[in-house]
Structure 1
Amino acid sequence: MTFIEALILGIIQGLTEFLPVSSSGHLELGTYFLGVQSEDNLLFSIILHGATACSTVVIFRKDIFEIFKGIFKFEWNESTKFATMIVLSMIPVGIVGVFFEDQIESLFGGNILLVGMMLLITAALLAFTYFSKKNEGSITFKNSIIIGLAQAIAIMPGISRSGSTISTALLLGVNKEKAARFSFLMVLPPILGAMLLKTKDFLENPEIASNISGMNLSVGFLAAFLSGLLACQWMITIVKKGKLIYFSIYCGIVGLLAVAGGLLW
Structure 2
Amino acid sequence: MSESLRREYQVGEEIGRGRFGTVFRCYSSESGEFFACKSIDKNLLTDSIDRECLEKEAKIMNLVSGNPNIVQIFDLYEDENSIHMVLELCESSDLYDRVTKRVFSETEAVSVMLPLMEAIAHCHRRGVAHRDIKPDNILFDSRNRLKLADFGSADFFGNGQLMSGLVGTPYYVAPEVVSGRDYNEKVDVWSAGVILYIMLAGIPPFYGDSATEIFQAVLRGNLRFPTRNFHSISSSAKDLLRKMLCKDVSRRLSAEQVLRHPWILSGGEARSMTDLT
Indicate the TM-score class for this superposition, using the shorter chain for normalisation.
under 0.3
Structure with the greater alpha carbon radius of gyration: 2
**Structure 1 or 2: larger strand share?**
2
- Higher relative contact order (CA closer than 8 Å, sequence separation 6+): 1
TM-score, normalised relative to structure 1: 0.26
TM-score, normalised relative to structure 2: 0.25
